[in-house]
Amino acid sequence: MPKVLLLNGPNLNLLGSREPEIYGSTTLKEIEEKVAAVLSGHEIECETFQSNSEGEIIDWLHKHRGADFLLLNPGALAHTSVGLRDAVLGVEIPFIEIHLSNVHKREEFRHHSYFSDIAIGALAGLGVKGYLLAAEFAVDYIEQKGNNNSGS
């Protein structure tokens, strides 16, 4: 069964109560369940992980190399982490970068991301919907890959 990774970075475990005027009131568990539901409808497995530790996130990604697609909200690591960027490049998993908030409308330090130029695409400011749209994109991407491989 194809596998999609849903990886969330620092402080996203606080979703639901953290600055709800910016990040909304949906919890991370609810987001994970909604994404898994989109994927399971297409017989795609979803593995989720969140950590506040950069090292744990990188280690988890290394362990899951071989997955078909990555949905990544790096949180603040988007703006700081060459290490996580290198890990994403190293495992060679195609990915979409997701931010609940529109980082381009916020403080200047959030305008640059170490991931946007290596992602297939990036979604920012669409709230939870961004995760669901990214999951739908992952379904299409995986199904298309399957079709391309079926004749060879």
To ligand DQA, the closest distance from the beta carbon of 61 in angstroms equals 17
Nearer to ligand DQA, 2 or 9 (CB): 9
Nearer to ligand DQA, 50 or 73 (CB): 73
Write out the residues near ligand DQA by the rule CB under 6 A. 11, 73, 75-76, 78, 99-101, 103, 110
Contact between 147 and 139 (Cβ < 8 Å): no
Nearer to ligand DQA, 49 or 145 (CB): 49
Catalytic residue among 64, 79, 99, 131: 99
* Three-class HEC string of 74-126: CHHHHHCCHHHHHHHHHHCCCEEEEECCCHHHCCHHHCCCCCCCCCCEEEECC
To ligand DQA, the closest distance from the beta carbon of 41 in angstroms equals 25
Phi and psi based region of residue 147 (left: phi greater than 0; alpha: psi -120 to 50; beta: remaining): alpha
Q: Is 23 a catalytic residue?
A: yes
Active-site residue list: 23, 99
